[in-house]
Chain A
Amino acid sequence: MTALTRQIVAIARPGVVWAVHFIAIYALISAACAARALIGHPTLLIAGAVVTVLGVALCLWSVAAPRTGEDGDLRPAAFWSGLIFALAILANASALFFFQSCGG
């Protein structure tokens, strides 16, 4: 993989991580709060915490990864992409921890 390809992947990866995390949180809320009630609130919290920690770590990888031999103009793109999506993941997950049940 060339440095440029690595850089493009580094820009897009946090977005994919955010998308997977969003789907996971939405699925967990749906599983806990819809009529079928597939999981309980504790399971929702634990599973939500695990995917959030994983998601933030993967996003921050783009922020912290060393960048040698890469295009100067796109260097901030990978950095900011990682940071924006890490924040977005935390924001999405925050809903889980502010409420004691599905109804608030």
Chain B
Amino acid sequence: MSVSETPTTYSGARKGEDKSFEGVWDTPKGIHVLSSVSHRVVGRRFIYTGFVFFLIAGVLALLVRTQLIVPGNTFLDLETYNQVFTMHGTLMMFLFAIPILEGFAVYLIPLMLGARDLIFPRLGQFGYYCYLFGGIIVLSSFVFDAAPDGGWFMYVPLSTKAHTPGLSADFWLIGITFAEIASVTAAVELITAILTARAPGMSLTKMPIFAWYILITAFMIAIGFPPLIIGSILLEAERLLGLPFFDPMLGGDPLLWQHLFWLFGHPEVYIIFLPAAGMVATMLPTFVGKPLFGYGFAVAAVVSMGFISFGLWAHHMFATGLPILSLSLFSAASTMVAVPTAIQVFCFIATLASGRPKLTTPMLFILGFLSIFVLGGLTGVMLASVPFNWQAHDSYFVVAHLHYVLIGGMVFPLIGAFYYWAPHFTGRMMSERLGRWVFGLMFVGFNTTFLLMHITGLRGMPRRVATYAEGLGWDRLNMLSSIGSYILAAGIALFVFDFFRSRRHGPPAPRNPWGAGTLEWLYPPVAPGFNFHAIPPVESREPLWDQPHLLETEAHKVEGVMHGIRDGRRETVGCDPVSGKPLYILRLPHPTWLPMIAAAGLALLFGATLASAYWLCAVGAVIALVAFTLWGWEPSDSGVTRDAGMGHELPVNVVDRRSHMHVALVGTMLVLMALFASLIFGLLYLWNIRPEAAETLTRPALLPAAVAVVLGLAVALFGQLTRRAAVRDRFAGATVLSLLTVLTSLLAVAALGLSLMPIDPWASALGATLWAIGGFVAFNLAVLTYWGLFNAARRLTRRIGPGQSMPDFNLATFAKGCGLMVAVAGAFFIAGAVGGVG
């Protein structure tokens, strides 16, 4: 539905009317650079911070290998060893792999798609600071001598208060949950950016393959991270408040943690692999000089992988005593995922075969990726077989497999990507000669370390042991693996040296130095902060190959839409998600400190929880809330049309289901629904496997539960009516209906609370889970209430004027989602009340 609004004189935020186009897009100088919201600045920060975490985690890996170099070694004591391998895995998986790939996506996607920035720049800055502060919280555990030591998967009951009484598990749970906010916000931002901000003519089928990979990855993050977020919150609630979610004595189950963890943990492997494979699919055609073979096959394979990867989680739990039928189901799905993976690999090989590849440094890393990753995939198929898995479980064979998949599938493409896109970061080329040395050292070092680990594992060496006895047949293998790890580290060290050396001494990069076909090379490195003076229409997936005039003309003279500035604002073009047809002018925010302040407030909230300083938590929450409020407290931009050039007269920030705000809201609802579904999964799981515990639970109250269902439907109805009134420009009606939405939300919270009153959450896991569901829904209704009041206040203070219906349009979608959650939660409470929970 598209809504034509009454054109009025522009009433939106005025920020740079006295500046030139370049001035409007200028990156703030000095300390103010911290307030920059540019995707280029934020993307680089993600990349550099992620790489620092990689180096720290790498040093920890070297400590592990040094400890294991000889039998009976006392280089590290047992406790330190546990901390070191736990932090190695944690940093690599949570603070390096995903953030650095998201950093590349944040940096490259707008450039490749023909956008001037990511469309929620402030959200990008907020996500980065959450990631940074979360990472600092996790790392600071070393300073307090409380580094987590329970493995990167933090299994219960080991990580419960009874078995880990200190703060180490809390550092992990709180720091990682906080850092995950960055992944989720980046996912929503990337989904929206890819779907709504592309160059004219760039339909989904003309999109660079990298964007498909990132789109699917972002959807996977939006669905895959919530189970871990919920699991971490439940575990922290058990540790902090004594709620017995995982306590078998009170109807809980330690395996629930494993389910929630691996519901995230296995898709995460593909979340790490897919963007890296997307980099390969982007670089490979450049060096072959031909388009990617089988674009359609690759898209189908990526989509298939995205789905199937969610059906594999329990293959990490084959040794936990699940029914054989369940094991077979997960074994089948684990084997099937090899099909889409192989399709992609065949696409890459066919592309290689279609031309004469240039053996540049990035190309060497691509070849390294292909050989190592395929070996890792093959051992993955072996491990998908239940009998073999039982034999190899928790042995060094698994360690070898996972490193072949993750280093081969992600680190090799990543280093290749650094060599390929380095001109974007430094304006200079990295050294081809040193690059070959880096590749050689890494390839030899990696295979020396991990190829031998397959044998070590098959000879029976278990994972996570701090030392081993002499004469078990592991001595020489471990020594060679440790020597290999030093060679691998030398390769990484040489790469770091080359990167810094090239910043000063590398040859200046020419325009499109590799002869690539994608738009990020349209401008000479380093491209200006606004990416494009004018956004050129695109006719193919390789515009720089198929539209030669783009490179024949000086970049700033290339013709396109959105030339110049309107109303002194940063802006790009918003498009139809499928066809790529220009739909509206997308106004972008200017630099601001608010997202950083909001993230700092949240960091205080999370950090003070560790110190049990709850008054400080409240201060942090207030700081964050004020920052969020000021963030949204701007005049609405919609309601006017402007000339976008090339015959396009476009509305500003159109009120439409296809607008970036609405698409982002749908993405956010996807995350919230996944969180909600994780709680429902937990409830059904405990109810199903512990019937005897369920029978002893007090029933929820029936009448309030029934009222809650009705109120949930009323919340959705009033939200929709608010939208209708706002779209029809009924100013007073929209305000009244918005307040009615708020009122019914508050009543729904009360009804849910009354229904749960008879249940003691400390008495049983099922009761605690019911309260967790109620609490989650109440939190969302509180957000809805705040949002409704916020909209009403903006309307009363004329921040939203007549003809500007976007805030209410979006509120309606959120109200419908909240209404659905209330109705579902209420239905479960009714089922418990009528049938008895048992």
Contact flag A80-B688 (CB < 8 Å), given A8-B204, A71-B205, A92-B311: no
Q: Shortest beta-carbon distance, A29 to chain B, in Å?
A: 5
**Cross-chain contact of B336 among A2, A29, A91 (Cβ < 8 A):** A91
Kindly provide the distance from the CB of A89 to the nearest chain B CB, expressed in whole angstroms: 9
Contact of A76 among B296, B308, B328, B335 (CB under 8 A): B296
Task: Chain B residues near A104: list those with CB within 8 A.
Answer: 324-325
Question: Taking A99-B328, A103-B323 as contacts, is the C-beta distance between A84 and B304 under 8 angstroms?
Answer: yes
A4, A30, A32, A91: the one contacting B332 at CB < 8 Å is A91
Query: Is B294 a contact of A76 with CB atoms below 8 Å?
Result: yes
- With both chains docked as a complex, state the minimum distance between the C-beta of A18 and any C-beta of chain B, in angstroms: 6
B340 contacts A by Cβ under 8 Å? yes
Q: CB within 8 Å of B: which of A48-104?
A: 71, 73-81, 84-85, 87-88, 91-92, 94-96, 98-99, 102-104
* B window 297-323: CB within 8 A of A: 297, 299-301, 303-304, 306-308, 310-311, 323
Which residues in B have their C-beta under 8 angstroms from that of A34? 323, 688-689
Question: Interface readout for B204-235 with A: 1 if CB under 8 Å, 0 if not?
Answer: 11000000000000000000000000000000
Instruction: Say yes or no for B468: interface residue by CB 8 A criterion.
Output: no
Q: How many of chain B's residues touch chain A, expressed as a range?
A: 35 or more
Whether a CB of chain A sits under 8 angstroms from the CB of B203 is yes
Judging by beta carbons under 8 Å apart, are A36 and B294 in contact? no
* CA distance in complex: A2, B204 (Å): 13
Which residue of the partner chain B has the closest CB to A70?
Answer: B205
Judging by beta carbons under 8 Å apart, are A78 and B300 in contact? yes
CA distance A6 to B303 in the complex (A): 16
Shortest beta-carbon contacts, A-B, top 7 = A95-B328, A104-B324, A15-B307, A77-B296, A33-B323, A91-B332, A77-B300
Is B632 in the interface zone, CB < 8 Å from A?
no
Q: What CA separation (Å) do A71 and B204 show in the bound complex? A: 10
Give Cα A103–Cα B311 distance, bound, in whole angstroms: 21
A46 interfacial by beta-carbon distance below 8 Å: no
Distance to closest chain B CB from A84 (angstroms): 5
Q: In whole angstroms, what is the CA distance A16 to B689 when docked? A: 28
Does B691 sit within 8 A of A, measured CB to CB? yes
B628-640 Cβ-contact flags toward A at 8 Å (1 or 0): 0000000000000
**A104 CB to nearest B CB, Å:** 4
Q: Write the nearest CB–CB distance from A76 to chain B, whole angstroms.
A: 4
- By the criterion CB–CB under 8 Å, are A92 and B299 in contact? no
* B270 CB, min distance to chain A CBs, angstroms: 14
Q: How far is the CA of A11 from the CA of B216 in the complex (A)?
A: 13
- Which chain A residues lie closer than 8 Å to B332 at the CB level? 88, 91-92, 94-95
- Inter-chain CA distance A17–B238, complex, in Å, is 37
Is B326 close to A, CB under 8 A? yes
Q: List residues of chain A with CB within 8 A of the CB of B343.
A: 80, 84
Give chain A's interface residues, CB within 8 Å of chain B: 2, 4-5, 7-8, 11-12, 15-16, 18-19, 22, 25-26, 29-36, 38, 71, 73-81, 84-85, 87-88, 91-92, 94-96, 98-99, 102-104
Seen from chain B, the residues whose Cβ lies within 8 Å of a Cβ on chain A are: 203-205, 294-297, 299-301, 303-304, 306-308, 310-311, 323-326, 328-329, 331-333, 335-336, 339-340, 343, 578-579, 685, 687-692
The residue that A31 contacts in the complex, of B296, B333, B688, with Cβ under 8 A, is: B688
**Chain A nearest CB, measured from B217 CB (Å):** 15
Query: Hey, which chain B residues are within 8 Å of A7, CB to CB?
Result: 205
Q: Which residues of B contact A33 (CB under 8 A)?
A: 323, 325-326
Chain A residues, CB < 8 A from B690? 35
A4 touches B307 (CB 8 A): no
**CB nearest neighbor in A for B204:** A8
Known: A15-B306, A77-B299, A84-B343. 4 other contacts (CB 8 A): A4-B204, A19-B310, A22-B311, A104-B324
Q: Whole-angstrom distance between the alpha carbons of A2 and B579 in the complex?
A: 9
- Do A4 and B336 have beta carbons less than 8 Å apart? no
Distance in Å: Cβ of A50 to nearest Cβ of chain B: 17
List, in ascending order, chain B residues with CB within 8 A of A79's CB. Answer: 300
Determine whether the beta carbon of A35 is less than 8 Å from that of B688: yes
Can you show 29 pairs from A to B with CB atoms below 8 A apart? A2-B578, A2-B579, A4-B203, A4-B204, A4-B578, A8-B204, A12-B303, A16-B307, A30-B685, A32-B325, A34-B689, A35-B691, A38-B688, A73-B205, A77-B297, A77-B299, A77-B300, A79-B300, A81-B304, A84-B300, A85-B307, A91-B332, A91-B336, A92-B329, A95-B325, A95-B331, A96-B325, A98-B328, A103-B324
A11/B326 contact (C-beta < 8 A), A2-B578, A80-B343, A87-B339 known = no
A35 & B689 in contact (Cβ 8 Å cutoff): yes
- B-chain residues with CB within 8 Å of residue A8 when the two chains form the complex: 204, 578
Q: How far is the CA of A12 from the CA of B323 in the complex (A)?
A: 31
Q: Which single residue of chain A is at the shortest CB-CB distance from B685?
A: A30
CA of A99 to CA of B579 in the docked complex: distance in angstroms? 48
Choose from B308, B323, B689 the contact partner of A36 (Cβ within 8 Å).
B689
Interchain CB contact under 8 A, B689 and A76: no
Give the residues in chain B near A76, CB-CB below 8 Å.
294, 296-297, 300
Enumerate chain A residues within 8 angstroms of B310, measured Cβ to Cβ.
19, 22
Nearest-Cβ distance from residue B340 to partner chain A, whole angstroms: 6
User: In the complex, which of the residues B295, B323, B333 contacts A92, with contact meaning CB atoms closer than 8 Å?
Assistant: B333
A29 and B304 contact, Cβ closer than 8 Å, known pairs A2-B579, A4-B578: no
Q: Across the interface, which residues of A come within 8 angstroms of B328, CB to CB?
A: 94-95, 98-99
Known A2-B578, A71-B205; contact A80-B323, beta-carbon cutoff 8 A: no
| Complex CA–CA separation, A26 to B310 (angstroms) | 12
A75-B296, A76-B297, A80-B300 are known contacts. Are A88 and B205 too (CB-CB below 8 A)?
A: no
Chain A nearest CB from B264 CB (Å) reads 16
Contact of B205 among A4, A18, A87, A96 (CB under 8 A): A4
Question: Which of A30, A80, A92 meets B297, CB within 8 Å?
Answer: A80
**Roughly how many angstroms separate A12 CA and B307 CA in the complex, as a whole number?**
9
A12 contact set on B, CB distance < 8 A: 303
From A38, A85, A99, B324 is in contact (CB under 8 Å) with A99
Contact between B308 and A18 (Cβ–Cβ < 8 Å)?
yes
Query: Does A102 lie within 8 Å of B296, measured CB to CB?
Result: no
Question: In the complex, are the beta carbons of A4 and B579 less than 8 A apart?
Answer: yes
In the complex formed, the residue of B with least CB distance to A89 is: B336
Chain A residues within 8 Å of B691, by CB:
35-36
**Which of A12, A15, A38, A104: most chain B CB closer than 10 A?**
A15
A103 and B343 alpha carbons, distance in the complex (Å) = 35
Contacts of B304 in A (CB 8 A): 15, 80-81, 84-85, 88
Shortest C-beta distance, B259 to chain A (Å), equals 11
Q: Which residues of chain A have C-beta atoms less than 8 A from B325's C-beta?
A: 29, 32-33, 95-96, 99, 102, 104
Assuming the contacts A18-B308, A19-B307, asked whether A87 and B336 have C-beta atoms less than 8 A apart, the reply is yes
- Say yes or no: A11 contacts B300, CB within 8 Å: yes
Which residues of the other chain, B, contact A15 by a CB distance below 8 angstroms? Answer: 303-304, 306-307
Tell me the bound Cα distance from A33 to B324 in angstroms: 9
Q: Which residue of A lies closest to B541 (CB)?
A: A73
Residue among B299, B301, B307 with most chain A CB within 10 A: B307
Query: Could you tell me the distance in whole angstroms from the C-beta of B833 to the nearest C-beta in chain A?
Result: 19
| Assembly CA distance A7 to B300 (angstroms) | 11
Tell me the minimal C-beta distance from B500 to chain A in angstroms: 42
B301 proximity list for chain A (CB < 8 A): 80, 84
Query: Assuming the A-B contacts A15-B303, A87-B339, are A102 and B297 also in contact, with contact meaning beta carbons closer than 8 angstroms in the complex?
Result: no
